Each structure stands twice: as structure tokens, then as C-alpha cells.
Amino acid sequence: MEGNMLYVPLFINGKLQESLKTKQLINPANYDEIIGVAYLGSREDAKAAIEAAYKAFPSWSRTNSFERSELLKKAATLIRERREELSRYLTLETGKPLKDVLKEVDFAARVIEYYAEEAIRINGEIVSSILANVRCLVIRQPIGVAGLIVPWNFPVDLLAWKLGAALAAGCTVVVKPSSEAPIASTEFAITVHRAGFPPGVINVVPGLAAEVGAELIENPRVAKISFTGDTETGKIVLEQSAKQLKRVSLELGGNAPAIICDDANIELAIAGCVRRAFSNMGQICISINRVYVYRKIAEKFINGVIEATSKLKIGNGLDPKVDLGPMFREELREKTRRHIKDAVAKGAEVLFGGSEPEGAEFEKGYFFLPTILTNVNHNMIIMRDETFGPVMPIMEVDGDDEAIQLANDSRYGLAAYVYTQNISRAIKMAEALEAGGVGININDVSELQAPFGGWKMSGIGRELSPHAIDGYTEYKTVRIAVI
């Protein structure tokens, strides 16, 4: 950082590096404000990073698991020491409110700490043999170099999910941050390195998907790709990786339904839906994208949602009183407008929002009002595709079977939510909903010690929990004849 300008370097083999290509980074709350300059890596830079990781792998993969654990614990401490600094970077580059990004950095430190603990629990097995003089061992070994492709919406949190599991397993990594929001994720990775990891274990190359991303996917020395992003890009990653039968985990798009049953705690449901639909301006893969409320309680629920939404404060995320910042870029705001316009043309009613907020403080940012729609149906784009914007479409239903059928009428299956006080109904719906995570009376499906991932077009593989480490290890069977 020079003065008030942030410079985002490449980090290869333990050294900060510059590149020939650069990109100006803007503040989504004021697109006239340039907050930094990122050096964008080329294919050659990506190759250099892969080579560094490949050369570091033999030594790093043989380190004692307790040594890896101690380094990760120290990394978590260093992250906490930079909590405010990393959080400010996140707000400047993504627009998210400071009070939310502080939680993101805190959780990222917890994730790294968690994988410090899991590093010493990567166990094998002794299995019985059909032969009396043979002993059979099953061991787990790190897969090799892992390419970690991180999105812009949660660049620190989601990097921690991938990086913690990979390092605990004994893999070396090349991180590709989003070229649009590389500041906090690059600084986060460098902070982890400074805990004492050997050069080449952690490498970072911000850059374009067509160059850095392509090299990670096509280079045979990369054994594993972990990608978080949109479904269409995920399909390309899978298709290209298949040419080398490369291990792939994909955490992709969602179109999460929320079912509000007639016995729900209405106040809890209102607060939960407003938070999960509008947090980070709806730019979250597990955002509530569709609400199915039972007709009997619909009026009360809708009025409550409007009242709660009207109290949300919109503005620059650096203001500690702000609940909602800007959207990340104009293309996403325009997509939100298109989805709303399509819904209204097909009969939807806008009860709140639907446009940009008024006022001079909003004129140069990608701000948009949280929006509530009713009279929606499944012929509307907004009920079928991921908007990735601050819109809550509400559809009235008559019972459990209809709600489940509509909720499952989607090509996505990342998350789903149910509000009910009937335990039998809760279990029935949780089992019937086609999603990798179901929240009952809670608006979040991620749990550090439980697997996170999607069904259907929402992805392959799992993040978090010990299960994430499975994606960074290979099983090996060792048969020993006793002679």
C-alpha cells in the first residue's frame, strides 16, 4: 500500500511480484473512486506459480501433521491480528457493510483454526484380509498441487474454506482470486504464508479466467481444482478438467426456496427471510430467492416483511450503521432490473423497492433498493434463475405438498429453508427438499463441522468439515504378506 492506494501483487515461491498487466479497482459505493491497482498474472506467471507449488510438494507433503497443525494455528492468530485491516479491504472492494465483513474475517480465522485441529485427524484404516498371512492397510496421502479459484462475493471466507483443508491435507496451492476483488484474498493468503509455511506451498496469482484460470485447469501438474462461482462457468471447469480426469469440486449457483408454514413463528420467519434475502444485496449463493408462504398467514407475513425491510439502512459499507451496501457491479444491478421487469410484465406486483434509492449519496454507487414482489409464478425468470440481487418474490401456497413440489421445481439444489414449529413436518420437509443443506427455523445452512455443497446444478463435492479434506487426499491400499 502506498499512501491511500492499494497495490495487489502476485505472490510466487515466497516472493511478492509485479506483472506487465494491471487493473484499476473501484469502490462499488463510489465508482469514481479508484481504491487500488491489481497486477494481473499471465499464463506464464501461472505456470511459474504451479512450478513453485509442484517443487514444494514433495517436502511439504511429508511434513508431520502436527507441524502442519501448528502452522495453521499460528496463521489463525495472524489473521485475527489483521482483522480490522482485512475487513476494511473487503468493504472497499466489495461494498459489503463493515459489520458483516468483520464477521467474515472472524469466521475465516475460525476455519483455519478448525483445520489445524483436523490436520492431526487424517486417519487411515487396518482392514481384514481374506488371507491369514496378509495385513491390509488403507492410508491417505495428499493429492498434489491444488488450484483454488475464489469468487468476489466472499473472497476471504471461501478462500479459508479451501485453503485450510488443502494445507491440512498436505497439498501445495495456487490461489486465483477474483480479478475484480483481489485485495483482501491476496492479503489473507500472504498472511497465512507468514505463519512459517515454506516458499512455494502457498502461491497467489490474480488474473483473468482465460489466462490464469485456464492454466490451472489445463496444466497437468495441477491435480485438483476447487472452484466457487456461477453454474455456467462451473460446467466449463468440469468439462476442461475432465480431459485429464482432474479432481474437481464445484460450489455453484443456487435458487434457494423458503417455505413459511401456517404454524411458523411469524416474527422469526420474517427476520430470517429479510436477512437471508437481502444480506450482501442478495449476492450470496444461499440467499433466499423464492418464498412460499401458506395462504392462511400470507397477509401477516408480507406486511411484516415490508415493515422490516423498510427499516434497513442503505449506504456506504464503511458506515457502521449501514445494513446494506451497494451491489458489486452494474451488470448485476441491470440483471436485477431485468428480472423484476420480466416478473411485472407477467403479473407480479412490486410492494417495496424495485429501483435505485434517491439521493446524492447514491448517485455514484451501484445501489438498489431491497425489493419485495407478490403475485409471482414459475413462468417468471426470477422464480427459475438465480438473480443474485436484493429481491424477495413471495408466492402463496395451500399446503405442504404444493410447497415441496414448487420448491423442488428448480435445476438448483444448494440450500432450502423451512419455518415450522411441528417437528414431524420439519423432518418430512427436510428429507423431501432436494438441496445439499436445509435450514429449519434458521436462515443459514453452513456449519463449520458439517459438509457444505449442492445437489443438481449447484455443484459437486463438499466444503467445510472433515469431508472437505477428502477432496485433497488419495486413498492407497497397502497389502503386506507376513513371511
pLDDT tens digits, residue range 388-429? 999 999 999 999 999 999 999 999 999 999 999 999 999 999
pLDDT at 52: 98
- Reported residue count of the chain is 483
Q: State residue 366's pLDDT score.
A: 98
Instruction: Catalytic residue, from 285, 356, 396, 434: name it.
Output: 285
Grade residue 19 by pLDDT with cuts at 50, 70 and 90: very high
pLDDT for 92-106, tens place per residue? 999 999 999 999 999
Contacts of 422 (CB under 8 A, 6+ apart): 261, 263
* 297: its cell numbers: 398467514
Chain Cα centroid distance, residue 203 = 20
Q: What percent of the chain has a predicted confidence (pLDDT) above 70?
A: 99
So what's the pLDDT on residue 293?
A: 98
Q: Which residue, 467, 468, 456, is CA-closest to 416?
A: 456
Q: What is the largest CA-CA distance in the chain?
A: 84
| Whether pLDDT at 251 is above 90 | yes
Instruction: Determine whether 273 is an active site residue.
Output: no
- Give the span between the Cα atoms of 452 and 436, in whole angstroms: 7
Place 446 in a pLDDT band, splitting at 50, 70 and 90: very high
pLDDT of residue 230: 95
pLDDT (0 to 100) of residue 236: 97
**Straight-line distance from the first to the last Cα atom of the chain, in angstroms, rounded to the nearest whole number:** 65
Q: How confident is the model at residue 285 (pLDDT cuts 50, 70, 90)?
A: very high
Active-site residue flag, 93:
no
Confidence class for position 367, pLDDT limits 50, 70, 90:
very high
- pLDDT tens for each residue of 121-144: 999 999 999 999 999 999 999 999
* Number of C-beta neighbours around residue 323 at 10 A: 19
What tens digit of pLDDT does each residue of 180-197 get?
A: 999 999 999 999 999 999
* Identified catalytic residue from 51, 118, 215, 251: 251
Cα 380 to Cα 393: distance, rounded to the nearest angstrom: 10
Average of per-residue pLDDT values in the chain: 97
pTM above 0.85, yes or no: yes
Q: Decide: 425 and 264 in contact? Cβ < 8 Å.
A: no
Residues 6 or more apart whose CB falls under 8 angstroms from that of 67 comprise: none
Please report, for the chain, how many H helices and E strands are present, in that order. Answer: 14, 23
Buried b / exposed e over 180-191, threshold 16 CB at 10 Å, is: bbbbbbbbbbbb
What's the mean pLDDT in 439-461?
97
For residue 5, what pLDDT band results from cuts at 50, 70 and 90?
confident
Specify the pLDDT at position 439: 98
For the beta sheet containing 134-142, the strands, ordered from the edge strand earlier in sequence to the opposite edge, are: 125-127, 134-142, 473-481
pLDDT value of residue 119 = 97
pLDDT tier, 2 (very low <50, low <70, confident <90, very high otherwise) = very low
By three-state DSSP, how is residue 361 classified? Answer: helix
Radius of gyration of the chain (CA): 23
Q: Are 360 and 335 in contact (CB under 8 A)?
A: no
Residue 1 pLDDT exceeds 90: no
Average pLDDT over residues 233-260: 97
469: left (phi over 0), alpha (psi -120 to 50) or beta: alpha
Q: Is the pLDDT of residue 275 over 90?
A: yes
